[in-house]
Every structure is written in structure tokens, then in C-alpha cells.
């Protein structure tokens, strides 16, 4: 049987929830937000979003990943083969870098990354 703290008020009617309950509530809200973001990225992007993604790609990605997502044979990942369902992996790689790829955290916003994803996802071979 777990020990109780006699100095702590009992969780009853009209009293603030204990720390564990607040934490579970925060985790539930954060989980719902992540689920909503993931489903937003799963939807087909609008043509305008893809066009904006192309522009961002040309400015930041094409020199290594190739024009029109066609890798010129270098060490950079062929983004046409990136799994469509893995936005979080993509976002993490763009923000933090990976292997020889620089981190773009200070250059690209979350909106920019979502637009890049719209373009790359629309062009994936998967």
C-alpha cells in the first residue's frame, strides 16, 4: 500500500488536483496537439503550399539534395524516397541536422518546414 503524506491535503471536492493529475492532464493535451499536427501533415497539401515548398527547397536544399529532388549522386539523401508518414523525423533532421547536413533551426520556421514537407511529400516515390 503506498504511503500517504499526512501534510498534503486530500484530493477532494473543490481542491486543486495533485501534481500527478496535472502532469497527466498536460501530457494528454500535448499528445492531442501532436496528433492534430500529425493528421494535418497527413492531409494532401494545397497546390499553393507545394509551390511555396518548392521555393524554400530551391533556396535551402537543392544545392545538396539536387534540383527537382533529383539527387546528383552525392552523399545527400534522395528525398523522393523519404517516408511520407514520418514528418517528425523529417522535421527533426531539418532543425537539428544529420550526418553532413547542417541544422537549419535558426533559418527555417515551423511553417517553412511544413511547406518543405508538402513539396517533398507530394514528390515522394512512396
**β-bridge mates for residue 11, sequence order:** none
Question: Is-contact 80 124, C-beta < 8 A?
Answer: yes
pLDDT at 30: 52
Rounded mean pLDDT of 33-58? 76
pLDDT digits (tens, 9 = 90+) for 76-108: 888 988 898 999 999 999 999 998 899 999 999
Instruction: List for the chain the helix, strand, coil content (%; round to 5).
Output: 55, 0, 40
H or E stretch at 63: helix 62-65
pLDDT at 84: 87
106: Cα separation from own chain's centroid:
16
Domains, in order of start, for the chain: 41-123 (1.10.760.10)
pLDDT at 64: 92
Q: What is the pTM of this model?
A: 0.64
Which grid cell sits at 3? 504511503
Torsion of CA 101, 105, 107, 111, to 10 degrees: 110
Cα–Cα distance list, 19 to 16, 26, 76 (Å) = 9, 11, 46
Amino acid at each position: 500500500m503506498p504511503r500517504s503524506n499526512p501534510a498534503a491535503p486530500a484530493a477532494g471536492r473543490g481542491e486543486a488536483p495533485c501534481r500527478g493529475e496535472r502532469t497527466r492532464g498536460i501530457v494528454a493535451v500535448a499528445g492531442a496537439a501532436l496528433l492534430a499536427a500529425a493528421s494535418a501533415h497527413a492531409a494532401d497539401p494545397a497546390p499553393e503550399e507545394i509551390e511555396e515548398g518548392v521555393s524554400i527547397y530551391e533556396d535551402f536544399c537543392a544545392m545538396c539534395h539536387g534540383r527537382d529532388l533529383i539527387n546528383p549522386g552525392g552523399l545527400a539523401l534522395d528525398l523522393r524516397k523519404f517516408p511520407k508518414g514520418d514528418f517528425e523525423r523529417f522535421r527533426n533532421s531539418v532543425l537539428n541536422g544529420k550526418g553532413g547536413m547542417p541544422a537549419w533551426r535558426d533559418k527555417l520556421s515551423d511553417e517553412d518546414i511544413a511547406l518543405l514537407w508538402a513539396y517533398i511529400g507530394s514528390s515522394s516515390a512512396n
